[in-house]
Structures are given as C-alpha cells and as structure tokens.
Amino acid sequence: MATQQQSNMSTSSHKSMIDSLYTSDNENTFQYDETLPPLPLPSLENTLAKYLDTVRPHLTEEEFAATEALVKEFKEGQGRTLHEKLSIKASQSKNWLEKWWLDCAYLQTRLPLIPFQNMSGVFPTPDFWPPQPGTRVERCSLIMHFNLKFFKMIRDEKLRPMVHKGVPWAMDQFKRIYNSVRIPGDPQDTLVSPFKSKSEGPLHSSNIIVLYRGYIFSFDILLPDESILTPQELSYQLTYIEKWCQSQEREGPGIGALTITERSTWARNREYLKSLHAENGKLLDVIENAIGVYAFEDSEPLSQTDVLVEVMGGDCRNRWADKSSTSIFFKNGLSGGSCDHTPMDGFCTAVITHYVSNSLTECKGDFGGPSQFRDFSRPERLDFHLDDKIFHEIEKAKTQFRSNTEDISVLIKFF
C-alpha cells in the first residue's frame, strides 16, 4: 500500500479556464442524441448521378457511353427494387448505414490493425517540455491525469455537447473512447464497448494497462468513490513499473505482439491462449475491459516525424492493438498515440488531444494540486501461462511486423 504523506501545497478548487470551456452545468453530454434526425437516404437518381460523375474522368467516351446505358438499365430495373428495400430499412432504423459500414469497412477486414488500420499520431509537445531523458514518468503522469479528467467528464455527463452553428452533433462515439475493445474473430471481429455514464449504470472497470519491455501491468486509476489519482499518485505507480522492468535480467514475453497480426491468426492464437490455462482468460478480461492502455518505449525520437515512425512501428511487444486507445511514451519524454479506428472517428481523438494539450499549457506542466498519497494497491503484473507454440507465434508476429513497417515513410512538416 502507498504510504500516507502530507502536502504543503495548496489545493485549488476553482474550475480551470479549459475545464470551463469543455464542461457544462446546464447541458447533459448526450441530451441531444435522441432528438437528432435519422440519417437521410439519398434518392436513387442522386446516387447514380454521383456514380457517373465519379467514373467519368477514368473512362473513354465510348466506355462512358456504355456505362451510362448500364446505369439507365439498372435504374429502371434491379436498382429500383433494391432502393425500395433500402427505403424500408431506412424507415426502421436511425442510421441505415452504420452497421454495414462498421462491418464491411472495419470488422470484416483481415489486415493487421497496426500499421494498416489504426489511427496514429504525435502528441503536441509544449515548448516547456523539450526532449529530456528522465522525464517520461512525470510527463506521462500529468497527461494521464488530464486524460482521466476527460474520462470523468463523459462518465459524469458533464462534457459540453458539441453544437455547430446551432446544430447539435451526435456524442455517442465519446462513450466508445474508453473501455472499448475489438475482439478478434474469424471471419469477423466483434466490437465491445461496455462504458456506461453514471445515469446508465455502475462503472464497468477502473484499471489501466501499462506495457513495458514485454511485460504487462494493471492498476486502478479510480478510487471507490470514482475520484481519479493525482499526477503524483500516478507517478508513484508508473515509477514502480518502470524500475521493476528495468531491474529484470531478461525482458518479458511480449504477448502484445500477437495483437498486431492478421486478424484471423490472432483470433486462433487468442483461443489457443485461453485453452492453455483458465488464468489466461481472466488476464485477457483484465486487459480487454481496461479503461485504456499506456506503453513505455526505450527509444528516443527527437523530431515529430521520428515519433510518428516509432508509433506506427516501434516495439510491437508493447502494443495491444485491440484496445481503442494506446498512449506511447518514449525515454526522452516525447509521446504519441495509436487508436483503433473501429469505435470512433478522428474527431473524438482530436477533442481529447485539444483538451489535454491546453490543460498542460494552462498549468505549464506543473500540476499545482494536492500531493497527498492515499491508500491504493500496487500495480499487478499480468503473467500469462505460455508454451512453445505461443512463443513461436510471438516470434513470427515480430518478424512479420518488421516486414510490414520497415518501408514506412513519414514526414511531418509545418509551414
């Protein structure tokens, strides 16, 4: 258990300027979602006209004339029948496209999530945080704390609903940022998003996952009253993990490498892993139900271009691609992120990044809040029961990942 310490620092109870921008005391985060109109269904004529506009630049005059004839035949025959069926579906659902899009564009795709499907990005580094070895834990703790404040905004339904020019936007994707996981399957994966706001039910889980040097740790970042750990408390936990991993003579097995393989391959290996020992299934539950994932890397990229290359490549043992969000911190304090695109669009990650980045700028990297240590358990190391087959699959995954990422070319340039 952590020891109790007293702080001479004053506790500020006022709402910061950034919090005031993002939170609302009068509006519920999701209050407009049920009143939003259904997704419009374009007319058959509009769809076919757009199709012809799309193919025109790629066809000769003769080919385009033949295509026009086929489109006319389709419009007057099978197209009319299909559009009538689509109209029935649209009348019975709020979003006639969403499930088809989720299944076909994401869940049925067999390519590895990293680097082919996941969103990858660089976390904006403030001027007062230049690359500096030894700063990783401190910076990660503060960024993690602000990320958890955003989690609490959604959980408490205090995040201000997005309204653009008087038109409310759907906010439901914000519920998929945390706790979500894409379970591998064959021939199709399954998206599981168990997050609940307070009005919807009890907290699903309160832990995060930390991956470093092939080892996996879990610890709670919310106390029983749902208060979040302070940056100092988070730093205490992360320091324990960092020092423990660095003190080991050999690195961990790197189970996370299995998650970056072809999806059906990972589905088979996941089932085999569960069959080896009952404890393995429980450990998978701990990871897959977690609020989010954080990874430590020992490389020291100096430019944003280098950071993005490491985020898209890097050490695949320290990834759990199935989770909706992984924040990656390097030895010199720079950081980036890899997010599964399945549960959410880039809009959600942009909003979080804006909130965290501006919160850091507002406090100039100094938390300035209470530094007392409350009682909480040390991080738990998740040790899977493995055999030669799994070790062989991990090595195959690492080799394939190097092949998939070795020719990635990235350039980040500001004008």
Q: Show the tokens assigned to 95.
A: 């979003």
Query: Is there a contact between 254 and 415 (Cβ–Cβ < 8 Å)?
Result: no
The residue with tokens 């704390």 is: 145
- C-alpha span between 256 and 219 (Å, rounded): 18
Contact 297, 310 (CB under 8 A): yes
**Which tokens in the block code for residue 12?**
């500020």
Q: Is 167 helix (H, G, I), strand (E, B) or coil?
A: strand
Annotated catalytic residue within 14, 164, 277, 341: 341
Active site residue 341: yes
Distance between CA atoms of residues 321 and 182, nearest Å? 9
Longest Cα–Cα distance of the chain, Å, equals: 82
Tokens of 223: 């106390």
- Write a three-state SS string for 237-275: HHHHHHHHHHHCCCCCCCHHHHHHCCHHHHHHHHHHHHH
Which of 321, 336, 339 lies closest to 404 in space, CA to CA?
321
Alpha-carbon distance of 178 to 174, in angstroms, equals 8
Cα separation values, 406 from 165, 313, 344, 400, Å: 45, 8, 28, 10
Q: Which residues contact 72 (CB under 8 A, 6 or more apart)?
A: none
Active site residues per annotation: 341
